[in-house]
Amino acid sequence: MNQIIKSLETHSHSVDILKDVYGIDSSENFDLVIVAPSWDIEKVFNDENYHYIKIYEDRFSVVHCIKINNKKLLYVRLQIGAPNMIDFCLSCYKLNCKEFIFLGSAGSLDRDIKIGDIIVPSCAISGNGSTIYLNDTFKNTFLEKTFADKSLNKKLKGACEKTGLATADALVISVDSVVAEYAHLNEFKKMKAKIIEMEVATFFASMKLIKKEAAAVLVISDNSTDNQHLIGRSEEVRKVYQHSRNIIHKIITNLTV
């Protein structure tokens, strides 16, 4: 067992940290866990035919259970940022579920990747500090690449195709600051990063550490190359982005078939 998990069990004084912190009983069986920083469940499953039950809420996270195609899913809305992501992911090490999907927004660093495009990335560069904590020692892993699970990633792309959606694979750079990122955009582009967000690299790495399968769906919300920045987006741009986000529930539904 990884040293991080051993230390967690030694020092947390909790038999089930996932239950104590997030209200999720690790002994329950789930077919899929959806992790969505800042996206309330109503923004994704906005069709009246979906029925879900809230099982936990505090000022940091909200957890719902939803059944689709006779499959039992968890939908976890976290606060944004890799620190929140790493704590939740590591708490899932005993959870009876092998498949985890990340849902979120991302900015484009490429003129050819437009607002509203849907990205299913296979790789992310860790430009945030939290991922470093996944090592047993503080060796330098800043800017290392992390990867989606190949099998789940293929399955997720297939669900997108069933939905009739065109998707792209693009290299992600995960960062710690929205405000400070603009000063480093040229550096990110030199790394061949095409899109930018805050949690995917840590999500991939955390899930690999606890031997879970992870993949991600990202909706492009802004494009710095076209001077359409996240801060100060027009209402027209918001509508294009929201239209794509409103289709995500169809992808998840096809994923559970």
CA atoms of 189 and 71, how far apart (whole Å): 40
**3-class state of residue 114 by DSSP:** coil
pLDDT at 256 over 90: yes
pLDDT at 230: 57
pLDDT tens-digit readout, 51-92: 999 999 999 999 999 999 999 999 999 999 999 999 999 999
pLDDT band at 231 (very low <50, low <70, confident <90, very high): low
Mean pLDDT confidence for 38-58: 94
Report the C-alpha gap between 252 and 32 in whole angstroms. 10
**Beta carbons of 128 and 201 less than 8 angstroms apart:** yes
As to burial, measured by CB atoms within 10 angstroms (0-12 exposed, 13-18 middle, 19+ buried), residue 227 is exposed
Q: How far apart are CA 153 and CA 213, in angstroms?
A: 9
- Mean pLDDT of all residues belonging to the chain: 93
The residues, any chain, with a CB within 8 Å of residue 234's CB and separated by 6 or more, are 228
Question: How would residue 233 be classed by pLDDT, with cut points 50, 70 and 90?
Answer: low
CA dihedral 62, 119, 241, 43 (to 10 degrees): -20
pLDDT (tens digit, 9 = 90+) per residue, 121-166? 999 999 999 999 998 777 777 899 999 999 999 999 999 999 998 8
Residue of higher predicted confidence among 11 and 214 = 214
Say which CATH topology domain 3-255 has.
Rossmann fold (3.40.50)
Tell me: the pLDDT tens digits for 153-205?
A: 999 999 999 999 889 999 999 999 988 988 999 999 999 999 999 999 999 99
Q: What's the burial of 131, exposed, middle or buried (CB within 10 Å: 0-12/13-18/19+)?
A: buried
Give the start-to-end residue ranges of the domains of the chain.
3-255
Q: What pLDDT was estimated at residue 228?
A: 63
| pLDDT score at 174 | 98
